[in-house]
Amino acid sequence: MTDLTCGVDVGGTKIAAGLVDEAGRISGASRVPTPAGDARALARAVAGLVRGLEADLAPGDRITGVGVGAAGFVDRTRSRVLFAPNIAWRDEDLRSVLEEEAGLPVVVENDANAAAWGEFVLGAGRDVDDLLLVTVGTGVGGGLVLDGELYRGAFGVAAEIGHLRVVPGGLPCGCGNLGCWEQYASGSALVRTAREAVATGDPGSSPLLERAGGAVEAITGPMVTAAAHDGDPLAVRLVTDLGRWLGEGIASLTAVLDPAVAVVGGGVSESGDLFLDAVRQGFREQLTGRLHRPELEIRPAELGNDAGLIGAADLARQRPRT
Amino acid sequence: MTDLTCGVDVGGTKIAAGLVDEAGRISGASRVPTPAGDARALARAVAGLVRGLEADLAPGDRITGVGVGAAGFVDRTRSRVLFAPNIAWRDEDLRSVLEEEAGLPVVVENDANAAAWGEFVLGAGRDVDDLLLVTVGTGVGGGLVLDGELYRGAFGVAAEIGHLRVVPGGLPCGCGNLGCWEQYASGSALVRTAREAVATGDPGSSPLLERAGGAVEAITGPMVTAAAHDGDPLAVRLVTDLGRWLGEGIASLTAVLDPAVAVVGGGVSESGDLFLDAVRQGFREQLTGRLHRPELEIRPAELGNDAGLIGAADLARQRPRT
Amino acid sequence: MTDLTCGVDVGGTKIAAGLVDEAGRISGASRVPTPAGDARALARAVAGLVRGLEADLAPGDRITGVGVGAAGFVDRTRSRVLFAPNIAWRDEDLRSVLEEEAGLPVVVENDANAAAWGEFVLGAGRDVDDLLLVTVGTGVGGGLVLDGELYRGAFGVAAEIGHLRVVPGGLPCGCGNLGCWEQYASGSALVRTAREAVATGDPGSSPLLERAGGAVEAITGPMVTAAAHDGDPLAVRLVTDLGRWLGEGIASLTAVLDPAVAVVGGGVSESGDLFLDAVRQGFREQLTGRLHRPELEIRPAELGNDAGLIGAADLARQRPRT
Amino acid sequence: MTDLTCGVDVGGTKIAAGLVDEAGRISGASRVPTPAGDARALARAVAGLVRGLEADLAPGDRITGVGVGAAGFVDRTRSRVLFAPNIAWRDEDLRSVLEEEAGLPVVVENDANAAAWGEFVLGAGRDVDDLLLVTVGTGVGGGLVLDGELYRGAFGVAAEIGHLRVVPGGLPCGCGNLGCWEQYASGSALVRTAREAVATGDPGSSPLLERAGGAVEAITGPMVTAAAHDGDPLAVRLVTDLGRWLGEGIASLTAVLDPAVAVVGGGVSESGDLFLDAVRQGFREQLTGRLHRPELEIRPAELGNDAGLIGAADLARQRPRT
């Protein structure tokens, strides 16, 4: 008999779920579109996924709990989502609703926290006690494992590292502030700088424009990283600049947190050595006290898109605090 | 019979020591100049202070351990000082040397960490689990108590918060980087901006110059805070600007750490409400997600200069990890 | 018999025209809405205004030329508008079309250049040879009179001072760049910072919100300057910050241009001493080589909204270069 | 019979002089160390050079005037040096003293202004009316020719372009301000960033360190540009970063001045295409209104170290204003 937990990753467009065993192996992965509407619609969709997984269980296996990773501020009790820009729940007691719908113990966690936990227990950080996860996607997300524990902060909203201010009077951020790190170091920043370069007639911009079929607005992050991978000089410069911004921010966070490893995940991080080398370069140049301290390692994430699902499932395996 | 521990605060110019009971009461405080020379000279000076305190013990009292707070990077085992700009020990096994000299169990801690612990157990943070200490002196120092534990980082050098980069391409810092927070938010920054204002003939600068006896280079931080307290418009502006830089940085740290309180200590913080109000103003303007999250309180430190000594003594009361 | 010239000020929403004598006295001022559509429609509207003024001429008076001030890049020959964000002409030979429609010699000039010339010949700069005009409105515009001549640049597009970069990686500007001065020192910047302060719950923001009838988006620049004038602390801070940004930029421009006076015009500049004092403060703090050089005077504009009309009329009085 | 003028270039360490004919040909160049001491000692040294040149004149030739280019603020009447950081004259009527000593009409000009004039009449800008000279040496100097005239500013101290503020709160400058352009775009900036990279153990820094014989403090600008020329990746990056800072600043100046060409001179500019390409790249990325305006050309200087001497001599050929 195997005890499994169900990991759920709730994003703005789709909900992914799967069963996870103690070793992090996923079985029965499935997904549905994120329903529009209220928190109860969302809870029902999640419960539906869980029941589907339950129906397909091998004889003797059982599901002991559900872990949900969701974008947004999750409160300290891991029950409520306080604030989530793109999802329909707000200050709902999501855990109660889900437990009622699914008939299982539930734990709710911020998605980046769940991913950090996943990389900590089963991924790139499984050999250390202190880990900083940095995910480079639409924004810059983060998760912290400190002294072997997921660190949530006093109010449950720690590790919003993308909102470190890195440029006073800088680019406006969706959060309402100016100069947040994610405006310079995210996939969106890569797209923005690429489109700017092309729109203002950078002489090296024709290969990138060609990839986008001649339309500036069609340029995407993966196009830029692919072009960089192929050696296109403009794309190389854009990816390198992005990496330096990311590495410099990790240096600031290291001054504060002194983790053993920084794990870099998210789409852009999969673009390879060029990007990670630039991250390491930016980090090294900005690390305070370098040469006088042990230095953290910057490693690529290992679990890819499954990190959040695996991490959430593992958190459900532990007894949730109440 | 009372079990006391000895708290020691090693600074660049003097060493202070005292006996501390479980309630944080200090007795027998004494101090000697910091000896020039090697680590052993320092250890002997500390041991001398401890023996002096031992000699004056009330009948039935005893000293069960020594806690030392010292500027610099202290390694994870709390034995060695890896790097300290102004003190003669470097990568010495200070704990062994001191235990040998003093004949008592010793624990070594970074001075700001010790102060954070002091404020946590007996000062401004005694009602919370997650505390950020920010000390505004020559530089900006910091200490973190997270989930009720002193957080040291993977390599023992966490909470070097003064070296958060706040201005890309900014002012050079003693650490070798550009744009570190402490270049904008420390007592030294206050002195620098005051001297600049006076040297370049700011029309409001005569009261400040008068306090300094007419010599720009004689202007000190306490003069500026005193002038601000008396309502001198230039000094008010300088102290307010400083407070805003400090508050804005605390907002960045809060995005990462989400503490329950930020305790502001150090000389400048004693200049009163004007400064703290500006800190709170800068904090509020920069806090990401404000209005959607519980907000930390910014409080003045309560233990003053004794925070490090009290905190180190309390850390010695606990069993040191090895 | 008096020779008059017609000054025309073409804005995004209205066209103002008037007759101007040698002493700068305006008569017969009239205005019409800026027509939508093409350059010819605009030229016809201007010609209509000119004919209306002609019809009302006193006996013996005559109109000898037309000077048009228009937002946008005007080419070196003062005929074409190369680029104007909000107006329907683009690279049209406006002078030819207008001369044909109006039957009079025409000169076209950038509106801020015309205003600078107006202040130079008849306003705040009539006693000097080198003048920098800074207009603080929706953006920050500028005009230069150097060695007694209007300076247009090699291609006719000099004095776009609002696009000096003052913050690397800063706020995005309508021009496509980041960190342009006008994003920090214009009336729009004042509105933006005021709305941000109110939206994020600045404790001092209720008076401002009240002026706006409770709606953040209803806050305007004049509301903020009026509140500042009445001593509202938040508004005072916002106007002071704006003034410092403006003065600091004028210091940079002075390093390059060394004018005898900087004339500050535009809506915000009319808010009085508080603003201008902050401009002067920011200027003084940033002027390179201060105490070792004669310092320019910063003066309020004298001609108000008529500066462009008067200046354009005066430029038409001179023989246009071809 | 040929009328020659004598050009003199007064630097912090040496004084160079030579005779210059109308076509800019130099003959009889000679130099002496800059004397320590007062202005009269300097004037005597210059007069000595002039007399030496006079003694060697070909039969029938004569010297009609002396043009002196000197570092520092020169007043509007081209007589006095108001402020010069490294030279012993200060607010002396240098022209009178020199005319007395040399027995010839004298004109004094800022050295970068003189060089700008040299490039304008006989060098890289001889085909245009509006020229911006940017010299990249210890600092960043500049000179302006506008509408065919040397532009001195209302008080004679225009074109101090190195003191444009490009980073608020940035690196301290010798002028007392923070964030001046020359702290990021000069030869000194190149040396600083190179030494920092080496000192902090940049993994690519060994070739540079080798060139310096193993001593970080022995690294010079020419070493870095030579290494960049040889393809050393770290040096290439440093020179490229420098060029981008320079080009971005030229873009800001172009918004204000709209010159026809920017001539880039000084030691670093001689390092070749890598540097100039980076300057052009930075310029293009930051030019406001690009694609909607004629663009200036960025050209290397043509007269090298002789630009100031040739320009000063040519200015002496014209009647000085008084």
Please report the pLDDT score of residue C159 as a whole number. Answer: 95
Cα–Cα nearest to D240, from A287, A282, A237, C177:
A237
Q: Determine the average pLDDT of the residues in B212-224.
A: 95
Contacts of D193 in chain B (CB under 8 A): none
CA A133, A136, A142: angle at the middle one, nearest 5? Answer: 30
- Percentage of residues in chain D having pLDDT higher than 70: 96
pLDDT digits (tens, 9 = 90+) for B141-190: 999 999 999 999 999 899 999 999 999 999 999 888 999 999 999 999 99
* Cβ pair A180:B288 closer than 8 A: yes
Please report the pLDDT score of residue D319 as a whole number. Answer: 53
- Tokens 């102004």 -> residue: B86
pLDDT digits (tens, 9 = 90+) for C210-237: 999 999 999 999 999 999 999 999 999 9
Chain A contact for C169 (CB, 8 A cutoff): yes
Q: Determine the average pLDDT of the residues in C25-32.
A: 93
DSSP B105: -
Please report the pLDDT score of residue A321 as a whole number. Answer: 40
Residue A322 lies in a domain: no
Chain D contact for A202 (CB, 8 A cutoff): yes
Same domain, D286 and D236: yes
Question: Comparing C12 with C317, which gets the higher pLDDT?
Answer: C317
How far is D284 from A201, CA to CA, in rounded Å? 9
Same domain, D147 and D257: yes
Indicate if the pLDDT at residue A88 is higher than 80.
no
pLDDT digits (tens, 9 = 90+) for C78-92: 887 776 666 666 667
Of all residues in chain B, the one with the smallest CA distance to A289 is B175
* Cβ pair D164:C292 closer than 8 A: no
Burial class (CB in 10 A: 0-12, 13-18, 19+), C114: buried
Which residues span the domain enclosing A201?
128-301
pLDDT digits (tens, 9 = 90+) for C298-314: 999 999 999 999 999 99
Alpha helices in B85-232 (DSSP H): 94-102, 111-122, 182-185, 187-199, 206-211, 221-229
Same domain, D144 and D292: yes
Evaluate whether D298 touches D280 at the Cβ level (below 8 Å): yes
Chain C contact for A200 (CB, 8 A cutoff): yes
Same domain, D234 and D221: yes
Distance from CA of B289 to the nearest CA of C (A): 9
Please report the pLDDT score of residue B177 as a whole number. Answer: 93
Q: Determine the average pLDDT of the residues in C243-265.
A: 97
Same domain, B103 and B143: no
Indicate if the pLDDT at residue C106 is higher than 60.
yes
Evaluate whether D177 touches D195 at the Cβ level (below 8 Å): no
Residue C71 lies in a domain: yes
Give me the torsion for CA of A255, A260, A266, A271, rounded to 10°: 100
Please report the pLDDT score of residue D136 as a whole number. Answer: 95
* Cβ pair D201:A284 closer than 8 A: yes
Chain D contact for B13 (CB, 8 A cutoff): no
Indicate if the pLDDT at residue C9 is higher than 50.
yes
Residue D192 lies in a domain: yes
Cα–Cα nearest to C25, from C61, C51, C69, C59:
C61
Q: How many angstroms from the chain centroid is the CA of residue C276?
A: 17
Evaluate whether C65 touches C98 at the Cβ level (below 8 Å): no
Same domain, A147 and A99: no
How far is B255 from B279, CA to CA, in rounded Å? 16
Please report the pLDDT score of residue C73 as a whole number. Answer: 80
How far is C227 from C95, CA to CA, in rounded Å? 44
The mean pLDDT of chain C is: 91
Please report the pLDDT score of residue D322 as a whole number. Answer: 42
Chain B contact for D200 (CB, 8 A cutoff): yes
How far is B267 from B57, CA to CA, in rounded Å? 32
How far is C89 from C81, CA to CA, in rounded Å? 7
ipTM surpassing 0.95: no
Indicate if the pLDDT at residue B37 is higher than 80.
no
Q: What is the pTM of this model?
A: 0.93
Distance from CA of A163 to the nearest CA of B (A): 6
pLDDT digits (tens, 9 = 90+) for D231-276: 999 999 999 999 999 999 999 999 999 999 999 999 888 778 999 9
Same domain, C95 and C164: no
Taking each helix axis from N to C terminus, what angle separates C94-102 and C39-55, rounded to the nearest 10 degrees? 40
* Cβ pair D171:B169 closer than 8 A: yes
Same domain, B22 and B40: yes
Please report the pLDDT score of residue A256 as a whole number. Answer: 97
- Percentage of residues in chain C having pLDDT higher than 70: 96
Question: If pLDDT is split at 50, 70 and 90, which confidence band does A141 have?
Answer: very high
Please report the pLDDT score of residue A254 as a whole number. Answer: 97
Evaluate whether D9 touches D15 at the Cβ level (below 8 Å): yes
How far is B138 from B221, CA to CA, in rounded Å? 10
Indicate if the pLDDT at residue A87 is higher than 80.
no
Please report the pLDDT score of residue C35 as a whole number. Answer: 85
Same domain, A159 and A58: no
Element (H, E) at A14: strand A14-20
Please report the pLDDT score of residue B75 as a whole number. Answer: 81
The mean pLDDT of chain D is: 91
Cα–Cα nearest to D299, from D268, D270, D261:
D261
How far is D214 from D201, CA to CA, in rounded Å? 13
Evaluate whether D240 touches D279 at the Cβ level (below 8 Å): no
Chains near A with 3+ CB pairs less than 8 A apart are B, C, D
A263: CATH: 3.30.420.40
Evaluate whether D171 touches B173 at the Cβ level (below 8 Å): no
Minimum mean pLDDT range among A147-156, A289-298, C223-232: A289-298
Q: Determine the average pLDDT of the residues in C56-72.
A: 91
Residue B19 lies in a domain: yes
The two three-digit tokens of residue B85, written as one number: 């700009």
Taking each helix axis from N to C terminus, what angle separates C273-286 and C233-257, rounded to the nearest 10 degrees? 40
Please report the pLDDT score of residue A114 as a whole number. Answer: 96
- Percentage of residues in chain D having pLDDT higher than 90: 71
Indicate if the pLDDT at residue A39 is higher than 90.
no
Minimum mean pLDDT range among A35-49, C115-129, C299-313, D55-69: A35-49
Cα–Cα nearest to A288, from D155, C123, B142, B114:
B142
Distance from CA of D167 to the nearest CA of B (A): 7
Q: Determine the average pLDDT of the residues in B18-41.
A: 89
Indicate if the pLDDT at residue A204 is higher than 90.
no
Residue C322 lies in a domain: no
Please report the pLDDT score of residue D86 as a whole number. Answer: 61
Q: Which residues on adjacent β-strands are paired with residue A141?
A: A135
Indicate if the pLDDT at residue C20 is higher than 90.
yes
Residue B322 lies in a domain: no
Closest by Cβ to D176, choosing from B169, B172, B196: B196
How far is C118 from C18, CA to CA, in rounded Å? 14
Same domain, D86 and D145: no
How far is B219 from B224, CA to CA, in rounded Å? 8
Chain D contact for B196 (CB, 8 A cutoff): yes
Same domain, C51 and C96: yes
CB proximity list for D109: less than 8 A, separation 6 or greater: D67, D68, D69, D70, D74, D78, D117, D150, D311, D312, D315
Please report the pLDDT score of residue D11 as a whole number. Answer: 83
Q: How many C-beta atoms lie closer than 10 Å to residue D270's C-beta?
A: 16
Q: Determine the average pLDDT of the residues in B260-273.
A: 89
Burial class (CB in 10 A: 0-12, 13-18, 19+), C37: exposed
The two three-digit tokens of residue C290, written as one number: 């201060």
Minimum mean pLDDT range among B197-201, C28-32, C254-258: B197-201
Q: How many C-beta atoms lie closer than 10 Å to residue C272's C-beta?
A: 13
* Cβ pair A291:D197 closer than 8 A: no
Total number of domains constituting chain C = 2
Q: Is D245 helix (H, G, I), strand (E, B) or coil?
A: helix
Please report the pLDDT score of residue A89 as a whole number. Answer: 63
The two three-digit tokens of residue C91, written as one number: 């690279």
CA atoms within 13 A on the CB side of A6: 36
Chains near B with 3+ CB pairs less than 8 A apart are A, C, D
CA C50, C53, C57: angle at the middle one, nearest 5? Answer: 135
Residue D322 lies in a domain: no
pLDDT digits (tens, 9 = 90+) for D82-120: 766 666 666 678 888 889 888 899 999 999 999 999 999
Question: If pLDDT is split at 50, 70 and 90, which confidence band does B238 have?
Answer: very high
The mean pLDDT of chain A is: 91
Q: Determine the average pLDDT of the residues in B212-231.
A: 95
Residue B214 lies in a domain: yes
Same domain, C132 and C207: yes
Chain A contact for B155 (CB, 8 A cutoff): yes
Backbone angles phi, psi at B80, to 5 degrees: -115, 145
